[in-house]
Amino acid sequence: MHSLAELDVAGRVVLLRSDLNVPLHDGDRGSEVADDTRIRASVATIQNLRARGARVVVISHLGRPKSGPDPKYSLAPVAERLGEVLGISVPVAVDIPQAQAMAAALNNGDVMLLENIRFDPRETSKDVAARQQLAAELASIGEFFVSDGFGVEHREQASVSDIARLLPSAPGLLVQAEVDVLTKLLESPDRPYVVVLGGSKVSDKLAVIGKLLEHVDHLLIGGGMAFTFLAAQGHEVGGSLLESDQIDTVRGFLATAKERGVDLRLPVDVVISEKFAGGGETRVVLADAMPPGWMGLDIGPATIVDFASVIAQARTVVWNGPMGVFEIAEFSRGTALVGQAIAACPGMTVVGGGDSAAAVALFGIEGFSHVSTGGGASLEFLEGKALPGLVALENSL
């Protein structure tokens, strides 16, 4: 794989795939960026390229537009914010022909943005030929490709993997940093190695558990996914999040953990409520004594202490998924306190997942070694799967 530093970009047009998929809201000036974390994170590679005299054409997606251009998903507000951060104007090309013309007129150090790449249905098409055709059109805009959208590296998409086979390509600084951290976790984690899993995307994350059981010393499970485990142990889980079709799989995990000597821990107590909202009555009950009809919405205080004691002894901690419905104050303690315990651990500490990162920001928790920008991509990496975007970089010109 080439490195970014190896590409001789001075005076050349460089196509840069970033992940500028930020939340928008309506502001005084129409649609505005609500959270610019991903924009600020993308600036390091852009500045590296500018400083070396490159002419930068940024490609990104925003949301999931259904069919063709849709002003709701325009990158125009993102270009404006990016321009503010960089202190230059960042024009937007509405399509590839316009991007070709604008790119030809760029000066060294200039930056422009191509409108939402998902306005072109070929970007995410299952039809390889269609994707390759779009990739070829994109490649015609510039001479190099830099892949910096870690959150999309696990996707087989025109602007992620197909284009990297057509131009001399390298990972950007963000992707390089992610790959370095995740490779260390996959290949040589310092032990004890603790993984803390939670959140609501149960079936997505169950896939990673099988693989993690081969690597970790302790697996701490909270959040919505814990209830499928508690149900697999035969406990009542009331109206809690439950994937009943996964119960057999989860029983298998419990058995595997036992065989391999992995310390798999579930909540010993939970915070329950009759409604999925704040302001109602809440109770703390033992995890094996949930009353029917009530929902488990956070881990309880004894579980927080238990999880924190394991985390304090760790030399590596990976955290993916909030411990409860942290968006509602009554159910946020588990996430805030487990997050603080992880941040305070002197070992290597890594947070992955969009909502986990949002929780970290919301509670102002600092001190992690690394906060990953891509939840799905980082989990697939830790499962040992090859990510199409990275494979393409290995095979680039």
Q: Which CB sits closer to ligand ADP, 142 or 324? A: 324
CB of 180 to Mg ion, least distance (A): 24
CB of 217 to ligand ADP, least distance (A): 22
Catalytic one among 38, 50, 81, 205? 38
Joined tokens for residue 326:
């942290």
Q: Which CB sits closer to ligand ADP, 77 or 321? A: 321
What is the three-class DSSP state of 372? coil
- Name which of Mg ion, ligand ADP, none residue 238 binds, using a CB cut-off of 5 to 8 Å depending on partner kind: none
201 is an active site residue? yes
Q: Which residue ranges make up the site for ligand ADP (CB under 6 A)?
A: 198-201, 223-224, 241, 296-297, 320-322, 324-327, 353-356, 375
184 is an active site residue? no
Catalytic one among 165, 191, 201, 211? 201
Compute φ and ψ for 223, nearest 5 degrees: 65, -165
- Name which of Mg ion, ligand ADP, none residue 337 binds, using a CB cut-off of 5 to 8 Å depending on partner kind: none
Q: Which CB sits closer to Mg ion, 50 or 61? A: 61
CA atoms in the 13 A half-sphere facing the CB of 49: 35
Catalytic one among 222, 238, 374, 376? 376
Residue 244 to residue 251: CA distance in whole angstroms: 12
CB of 368 to ligand ADP, least distance (A): 13
Asked if residues 14 and 146 have their Cβ atoms less than 8 Å apart, the reply is yes
Per-residue H/E/C for 194-259: EEEECCCCHHHHHHHHHHHCCCCCEEEECCCCHHHHHHHCCCCCCCCCCCHHHHHHHHHHHHHHHH
Catalytic one among 53, 315, 354, 385? 354
- Name which of ligand ADP, Mg ion, none residue 296 binds, using a CB cut-off of 5 to 8 Å depending on partner kind: ligand ADP
Q: Which CB sits closer to ligand ADP, 145 or 368? A: 368
Q: Which residue ranges make up the site for Mg ion (CB under 5 A)?
A: 354-355
Q: Which CB sits closer to ligand ADP, 48 or 273? A: 273
The residues near 351 (Cβ < 8 Å, ≥ 6 apart) are 319, 320, 339, 342, 357, 360, 368, 370, 371, 372
What is the b/e burial string over 249-261, where b = at least 16 CB atoms within 10 angstroms of the residue's CB? bbeebeeebeeee
CB of 320 to ligand ADP, least distance (A): 5
Residues with a catalytic annotation lie at 38, 201, 354, 376
